[in-house]
Amino acid sequence: MRLGLIGCGNIGKFLLQAINEDGLLPGSKIVAIYARREEIAAPLSDEFKAKAYGDVDAILKSDVDLIIEAATVEAAKDYGLNVLKSGKDLLLSSIGAMADPDFAENANKLCQMNNVQLFLPSGAIGGLDILKSANAMNGLETVSITTRKPPSALPACSSLANEKVLFVGSAAEAIKQFPRNINVAIVLSLAGLGSERTKVKIIADPNVVKNIHLIEATGSFGKLKLEVENEPLPNNPKTSYLAALSVLATLQNNEKCVQIG
């Protein structure tokens, strides 16, 4: 596979290292990168032997097979549909884009029309397999996620002495208010009850150093309780290491004949 990358921050650099340097996706390479600033793209282009492009359209005209978005929800919305229109597969890190009903509907249509695929990795959480099974006969009743992060991983709460609940509400509202911090709630919504019925609580907690996500669900299947204590990425406390790993794992699994889960 020839891969294109939009966004050269922490997840992007992790992928360049893992795929182009460490060979963790045999037969595939990131051959095209786009960062908004040339001074970011140029040294990465040299180091990882991936051509830096000045805009995304130029990458879409090249012979890449799949585009990885590792930028922001806004960027995912700006570029995502054009990627699918151009006949390339798309992998979104910023799954929050899918909370926009127009974007989600158009993305679905384009995938069908152009016979391309949209990959939505599980990111910094898990349990999506359970929710999908639990809802196979519409038996899922409640789904919630409680996210607890250090204040440095959340906006506008750097000097907290005690834990503070920043948000309680639907996943649809959470991603509007915290587009950089709660993409996990949207992938959870997509696997289960949708973004209006998925409940979210976000807590800034000065006593934790990890990004902790507690997922709870009930339904005819029984009950689910799953807590992930995520190590943050070294250069970005906002992003969990598992989120970057899940992008790599999705790419490693997408063409396998035997599909697990």
Ligand X SMILES: O=C([O-])CC(=O)C(=O)O
Alpha carbons 64 and 4: distance in angstroms, whole number: 6
Give the x-and-dash track for 42-81 against ligand NAI (CB under 6 A): ----------------------------xxxx-x------
Q: Which does 166 bind (CB under 5 to 8 A by kind): ligand NAI, ligand X, none?
A: none
Q: Which of 13, 59, 8, 54 is nearest to 32 (CA)?
A: 59
Q: Which of 88, 133, 92, 131 is nearest to 110 (CA)?
A: 88
Alpha carbons 223 and 122: distance in angstroms, whole number: 20
Interface segment toward ligand NAI; rule CB under 6 A; list 31-39, 80-88, 154-162, 195-203: 31-39
Q: Does the annotation flag 162 for ligand binding? A: no
Task: Provide the greatest CA pair distance for the chain.
Answer: 54
Alpha carbons 250 and 253: distance in angstroms, whole number: 5
Q: Does the annotation flag 183 for ligand binding? A: yes
Q: Which amino acid, residue 199?
A: K
**Residue ranges in 113-172 that form contacts with ligand NAI under rule CB under 6 A:** 123-124
Residue 8 found at the interface with ligand NAI (CB under 6 A): yes
Q: Which of 167, 164, 225 is nearest to 200 (CA)?
A: 167
Q: Which does 49 bind (CB under 5 to 8 A by kind): ligand X, ligand NAI, none?
A: none
Whether the CB-CB separation of 79 and 86 falls below 8 Å is answered with: no
Residue 19 found at the interface with ligand X (CB under 6 A): no
Does residue 213 have an active-site annotation?
yes
Q: Shortest gap between Cβ of 186 and ligand NAI (angstroms)?
A: 8
Annotated binding-site ranges: 124, 183
- Residue ranges binding ligand NAI (CB under 6 A): 6-12, 34-36, 70-73, 75, 93-95, 123-124, 180, 183-184, 236, 239, 243
